[in-house]
Structure 1
Amino acid sequence: MNGESYRAFASVYDLLMEDIPYGRYAEWVRNAAGDASGLKLLDIGCGTGVLTECFAREGFRVTGIDLSGDMLAVAKERFEAAGLDGAFFEQPMQEMEGHSGYDLAVIAIDSLNYVTDDEEVSAVFRNVYDALNPGGRLLFDVHSPYKMTELFLDGPFTADLEEVSYIWHTYPGEEPLSVESEISFFIRRPDGLYMRQEEFHLQRTFTPDTYLRLLIEAGFDVCSVTADWTGNPPAENSERIFFSAEK
């Protein structure tokens, strides 16, 4: 995915993500951190900063990175309007640099699935390892193999909201456990007419064992691997897998 991929998405992203359980993500991170007050948190793939704002309100000192300048512009406006402090950087996670001294790093809401090469996933983990203090934690979630090979291919998916509608076609990607998405957005303009935008997205996941191997090779100790907010290990039909690792 390149830096232009979310240009249309950015203006309507929050509307389309209303079903994301941001509160549960914030609770997951808070439980891992204990007392958040003063801890430095790196929100990787922060998008428009909705979850980053949750972290800031918890008491974390937050930095967000994302490869989309449009997304980051929304995030900065959000923080300014709320009177919150936060730093934001336009960087792809597999090439992020200049970050150190963090107590927590979070790659939430399947953002890591946009890194579609295992060597680049390895680079992400090495970069995060370097950015963390000793004892620092990395938390991330990804789509399961079952979701990529079964549920995503049940499309097309549609939504018809007041300000935006979309038709979302999904196809198997060329690589194992990958999905290509072609999305047609119809964004309502102030004059009542609609503007059409086309987007292409590619996501790929890997088996839990692959993520575990890459984490260990990067130097992490793996604390837990769970699924679907249950606290239980992944099952064959799990949809979302959560990892916690420590430097």
Structure 2
Amino acid sequence: MSSREDEALALAAVDALTGQLALAPKPGLPDPRDLGARATSPDHCSLRWSAKALAPGLAAMAAAARRTGEPSPQLRAELGAIGRCTEHSVGLAGGGHRGALWTLGLLVAAAALDPGARSKDVATAAKKIAAHSDRRAPRRPSRGSSVSAKYGAAGARGEARAGFPHVRRALDALAVSRKAGADEAEARLDALLTVMSTLQDTELLYTAGPSGLRHVQAGARGVLEAGGTTTDAGREALFALDTDLHARAWSPRGSAGLLAGALFVDTLPVPAGPRAA
């Protein structure tokens, strides 16, 4: 049974995901502008609704971590089982968010293992959980794993086993943008572009191949090099990239899920002082 602490972590993760969905303009990704179009409005509404269906599963993952008390193979197997049940529930609610569930599930479990952890420590704990194999997972290869094998990309599993480097990069970008005077939406968009600029997104590799991935990475870097979303040149580059990716039907979904992970970690309480040795 989950506690209030577990439910609070789950709701914070869902809020991070819905916060990511609320950003606009997100190049090639669903955002609130879809609500004004007949063709895309139902899809965006479904994504917002199905995000809430993650909450019970995420709370169960936090409870499992708190009960287990360590990033063990047992915890990894339990998280996998809960994740598969949650995917089914989300599918009934409209679908989507599979990548975000993987990222948020591991980070929620890591946060539950050590409620006083700093963001770097949360990512490290998630890395330790992800290092174990889920022996009960279906043996059929997923699209992401097939693309990772074909192109040598880290993929979602590799990102987790490396300690979520792109979540950490997004957190750094948020801090830099806020310090420079960006409002919250601008800081979050800059963080998204920071992830897009280097992530080997398996969704993009599947739909656009290596050249398409490089095109998207270069476009994201172009926005940041123009000054980011707080400058006129940066906003112009952002809208140009958004138009380009929507025209090509290329969607950097992996970056969106990792941004949601960063926004979740960003909400965790900051410890008052240095951690005890």
Q: Taking structure 1 as the reference length, what is the TM-score of the superposition?
A: 0.30
Which structure dedicates a bigger proportion of its chain to strand? 1
Q: Taking structure 2 as the reference length, what is the TM-score of the superposition?
A: 0.28
